[in-house]
Amino acid sequence: MADNYNNAVTLAYQIIGSQEPWRHPSSNIIHHRVLPNATFAPWLTDHEFLSCYEKIKGHSLVDHYRCYELWTLAKQLNNVEGNILEVGVWRGGSGALLAQAVKDSGKQVFLADTFSGVVKAGDRDTNYKGGEHADTSVEIVSALMESLPIRNIKLLKGIFPEETQHMIEGKISMLHCDVDVYSSTKDIVGWCLPRLSVGSVLVFDDYGFFGCEGVTAFCEEFRKRDEFRFIHNLNGHAVFIKIA
């Protein structure tokens, strides 16, 4: 682990620039400040997105870069069979955004959360211990949906997949997985795999975030699969597109 880190420090100075990389003491995942140079900002001229984002941002931990990516990906699913599943809803912000993006498509958006916080934290996770983000409820999310108003959602309360998988039928065209830890992510993807349409999209929040090394570790394993294209979007999303 130390060699891996020391090599990264040397290469960062020699090739990339002068700033030193860092890592969590219990992980070999290397972090370095990410500052993309491109400045195009299409979210500032997408008025439908902005109007929705303004209403949901107080209910979300997801920043506008990632919200805009969810928005644009969801809007590209018209020819992909299946509904949308978000696991990791918290106060409903990103879920509301997804539902608004596909409101005229006939797609249902399933929003799954324990509503009592993160579960299945384990050895692969660094900062998460379990129980985080419990400061929400079905009532808080329902009130947000009613205020927008959004009708094409179904809330699933309980650990996914174990406790609520039976409430979903048919294919999946998009998974937004925002559960912070390795084992939950792995179990959710395992459930989705046989249900994914070709062309479906998997978006993993927290990819690359310091403190969420379990999610990054899962995505680094998953990207070895041939049936998906993988995109490391520098905003903190890992995006996979099913091609076969």
Ligand X SMILES: C[S@@+](CC[C@H](N)C(=O)[O-])C[C@H]1O[C@@H](n2cnc3c(N)ncnc32)[C@H](O)[C@@H]1O
Residues lying near ligand X in the complex (CB under 6 A) are found at 60-62, 87-90, 93-94, 112-114, 117-119, 133, 159-160, 178-180, 184
Q: Edge-to-edge, what's the strand order for the sheet holding 237-242?
A: 153-157, 109-113, 83-87, 172-177, 196-204, 237-242, 228-233
Question: How far is 165 from 37, CA to CA, in rounded Å?
Answer: 42
Contact 169, 141 (CB under 8 A): no
Contact 132, 180 (CB under 8 A): yes
Q: Which is nearer to ligand X, 8 or 144 (CB)?
A: 144
Question: Least distance from C-beta 155 to ligand X, angstroms?
Answer: 11
Question: Least distance from C-beta 20 to ligand X, angstroms?
Answer: 29
Question: How far is 142 from 91, CA to CA, in rounded Å?
Answer: 9
Q: Which is nearer to ligand X, 141 or 196 (CB)?
A: 141
Ranges assigned E (strand) in the chain:
83-87, 109-113, 153-157, 172-177, 196-204, 228-233, 237-242
CB hemisphere CA count around 93 (13 angstroms): 19
Question: Least distance from C-beta 37 to ligand X, angstroms?
Answer: 28
Q: Which is nearer to ligand X, 82 or 92 (CB)?
A: 92
Amino acid type, 90:
W
Q: Which is nearer to ligand X, 62 or 189 (CB)?
A: 62
Question: Least distance from C-beta 236 to ligand X, angstroms?
Answer: 12
Question: Least distance from C-beta 112 to ligand X, angstroms?
Answer: 5
Burial class from Cβ neighbours inside 10 Å (0-12, 13-18, 19+) for residue 196 reads buried
Q: Which is nearer to ligand X, 23 or 133 (CB)?
A: 133
Question: Least distance from C-beta 186 to ligand X, angstroms?
Answer: 10
In eight-state DSSP terms, residue 15 is: I
Q: Which is nearer to ligand X, 88 or 208 (CB)?
A: 88
